[in-house]
Amino acid sequence: MGNYILRRIGQTLIVLVCVSLVAFFLIRLAPGSPAVLLLGDGATDEQIAAKEAELGLDKPLYVQYFRYIAGVFRGDLGMSTQYRMPVSDLIANRLPNTLRLAFFTVLLGLALCIPLGIVAGSHRGTAIDFFAMFFALLGQSMATIWIAVLNVYVFSVVLGWLPAVGTGTWAHYVLPVVTLGYPLAAETTRIGRSGMIDTLNEDFITATHAKGIRPSVVHWKYAFKNAVCPVITLVGMRLGAFLAGAIVVESIYSWPGIGQLLKTSVGNRDYQLVQSLLLLSAFLFALVNLLVDIINSLIDPRIVLE
């Protein structure tokens, strides 16, 4: 058990080092010097050279890389050329908004998928199963952009029930959370359903039935525990990749989070910010995946042996 967790942490660290290399060199491929972006077009060559020396851009690439990594550990992620403030402050301001959105999205996804997927899986071929499959397939086929636009049109423009943009009250949470949560719920419902079907075909379920245990107890106590592992894995993966969905949703609903920040930083070629956000998203992804693997190994000890 302890060995398994240590090995997973080791793998995670290697991946993070590689991602930091990718993020660092990807940004170096971009045309134009960051010094010019900070100073503006009117800067003289001497000013640019001075700024480059100040930022350490005249040093060899590997020195720049190690300086950057050393900075990351001190919490110094460089300056944003667009906002003219430290990248770490920008992220610290915005991250809580995105995390709140992520929390409610996962809550909605799980609240829909656990009853729907598990009940559908244990009542295969019934009306509720058909409904669950339809719900899931529709959800997987709707682009986030389309759900968002449709939501705004129906609930803000036509019905006028909910605000379309901004933050503040609980009502502002509804549309972004539904937009992000529906595709998640669709996917998890599907995985939960098929996990349940697979589990119910296993020998130990037949054994519990043979013992005379009530079907509802078999389903919820024995089968559920086995079917929920892939759901947790999937939710973890989607949570880790939450930033991707948040880019679209936050820019549509003007939600001041990390996703919106990434979109504007890309638009304004704020490379220092892009680089840090790439690293942040990979870090969150790795962290969530590590937690998911540990949780799953606690629920299902067989995983450790593989």
* Interface ranges with another protein (CB under 8 A): 11, 14-16, 18-19, 22-23, 26-27, 29-30, 137-138, 140-146, 149-150, 152-153, 157, 190-191, 194-195, 197-198, 240-245, 247-248, 251-252, 262-263, 266-267, 269, 271, 274, 277-278, 281-282, 285-286, 289
Distance between CA atoms of residues 181 and 144, nearest Å: 10
Distance between CA atoms of residues 254 and 257, nearest Å: 9
Question: Considering the complex, what minimum distance in angstroms separates the CB of residue 30 from another protein?
Answer: 4
Distance between CA atoms of residues 273 and 279, nearest Å: 10
Of 49 and 290, CB closest to another protein: 290
Q: Looking at residue 236, what DSSP letter applies? A: H
Of 223 and 286, CB closest to another protein: 286
Question: Considering the complex, what minimum distance in angstroms separates the CB of residue 26 from another protein?
Answer: 6
Of 128 and 197, CB closest to another protein: 197
Contact 38, 32 (CB under 8 A): no
Question: Considering the complex, what minimum distance in angstroms separates the CB of residue 211 from another protein?
Answer: 25
Neighbours of 210 (CB within 10 A): 8
State whether residue 182 is helix, strand or coil: helix
Contact 39, 59 (CB under 8 A): no
* Beta-bridge partners for 86: 79
Of 108 and 248, CB closest to another protein: 248
Question: Considering the complex, what minimum distance in angstroms separates the CB of residue 288 from another protein?
Answer: 10
Of 47 and 256, CB closest to another protein: 256
